[in-house]
């Protein structure tokens, strides 16, 4: 349970960091908060030759309100976003989901972008990014590209980030004022990996519901709000459409059950807090 050997460097600027990831590519990993990566190193799931520690990039630790979206830099810690004074007003979904992200003791160091880069199928922030239809800004030495969440996650712990790229920012669209948001998850212990996580955004006619833990990455579905029976039917179809798996924590059957029950509950909560 100790990491394999690796070289280490701590760039002082984003340009330096991009030079390094450009030069070392797949041999290197970006170390942000380390709350997933160091655990993976300790378990020897990952064995990079070089760690590029971006904790020195203080200019990238920002939360910027662009009006229609909130931009979050790659060095912004989850605890900082959690304490951002207008979070509940601007991004109520994130305000509701963040307390489920790890524990206070890991959010203090874990970054928002790092959690998205890690792309765990059951983790909360990738689910929120997908549900909000957010974007990931990827940069290499020469250019920057903006990828919508639906094109970013490609499998379990897999994304479409290229080897010479680094996530420099994510953008979370601010939903219209009359949107209701809710988030729930079932885990063995509060803050542990979700067996199933559900987020919902409702407007006057439809609900966007996102499921984490049911498939290789978060799945988002838009459903009409046309009565309880129709919604239950739609959630049942959604549950069966996912590739739910048995594991140590839960059976696939239980996961589908949670999608139906927690899905219903989350949508009802989102409707109730619609303004």
Partner 1 sequence: MPILSAGQRHKITVTLNGEERTGHAEPRMLLSDFLRHELGATGTHVGCEHGVCGACTIKLDGQPTRSCLTLAVQVDGSQLETVEGLGASDGSLGVLQDCFRRHFALQCGFCTAGILMSLDTYLRDQPNAGEDDLRALLSGHICRCTGYTPIIAAALEAAEILRARELQPEQRGPDV
Which residues are at the interface with partner 1 (CB under 8 A)? 1-12, 31, 34-35, 38-39, 41-43, 50-51, 53, 55, 79, 99, 102-106, 108-109, 189-192
Query: Where does residue 69 fall: left (phi above 0), alpha (psi -120 to 50 degrees), or beta otherwise?
Result: beta
Rank residues 38 and 174 by Cβ distance to partner 1 and give the closer one. Answer: 38
Nearer to partner 1, 55 or 264 (CB): 55
d(CA 257, CA 275): 30
Minimum distance from CB of 67 to partner 1 (Å)? Answer: 31
Shortest distance (Å) from residue 2 CB to partner 1? 7
CA neighbor of 146 nearest in space, from 170, 127, 125, 130: 170
Judged by beta carbon, residue 25 or residue 99, the one nearer partner 1 is: 99
CB of 50 vs partner 1, minimal distance in Å: 7
Cβ nearer to partner 1, comparing 1 with 248:
1
Give min distance, CB of 117 to partner 1, in A: 16
Cα separation of 255 and 211, whole Å? 10
CB 185 → partner 1: shortest distance, Å?
A: 13
Lay out the sheet containing 219-224: strands in order across: 180-187, 194-202, 206-212, 219-224
C-beta of 48 vs 73, nearer to partner 1: 48
């Amino acid at each position: 349970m100790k990491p394999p050997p690796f070289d280490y460097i701590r760039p002082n600027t984003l340009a330096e960091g991009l030079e390094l990831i450009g030069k070392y590519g797949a041999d290197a990993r970006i170390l942000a908060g380390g709350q997933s990566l160091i655990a993976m190193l300790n378990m020897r799931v990952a064995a990079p030759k070089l760690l590029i520690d971006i904790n020195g990039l203080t200019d990238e630790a920002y939360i910027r309100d662009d009006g229609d979206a909130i931009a979050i830099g790659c060095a912004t810690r989850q605890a900082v976003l959690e304490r951002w004074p207008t979070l509940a007003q601007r991004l109520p979904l994130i305000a509701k989901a963040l307390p489920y992200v790890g524990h206070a003791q890991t959010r203090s160091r874990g970054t928002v972008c790092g959690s998205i880069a890690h792309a765990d199928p059951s983790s909360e922030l990738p689910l929120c990014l997908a549900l909000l239809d957010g974007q990931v800004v990827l940069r290499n030495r020469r250019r920057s590209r903006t990828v919508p969440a639906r094109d970013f996650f490609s499998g379990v712990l897999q994304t479409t980030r290229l080897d010479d790229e680094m996530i420099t920012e994510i953008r979370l669209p601010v939903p219209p004022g009359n949107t209701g948001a809710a988030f729930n998850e079932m885990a063995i212990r509060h803050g542990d990996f979700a067996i199933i996580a559900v987020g919902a955004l409702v407007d006057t006619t439809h609900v966007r519901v996102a499921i984490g833990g049911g498939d290789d990455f978060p799945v988002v579905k838009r459903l009409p709000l046309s009565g309880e029976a129709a919604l239950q039917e739609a959630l049942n179809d959604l549950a069966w459409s996912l590739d739910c798996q048995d594991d140590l924590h839960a059976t696939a059957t239980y996961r589908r059950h949670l999608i139906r029950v927690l899905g219903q509950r989350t949508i009802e909560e989102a409707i109730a807090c619609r303004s």
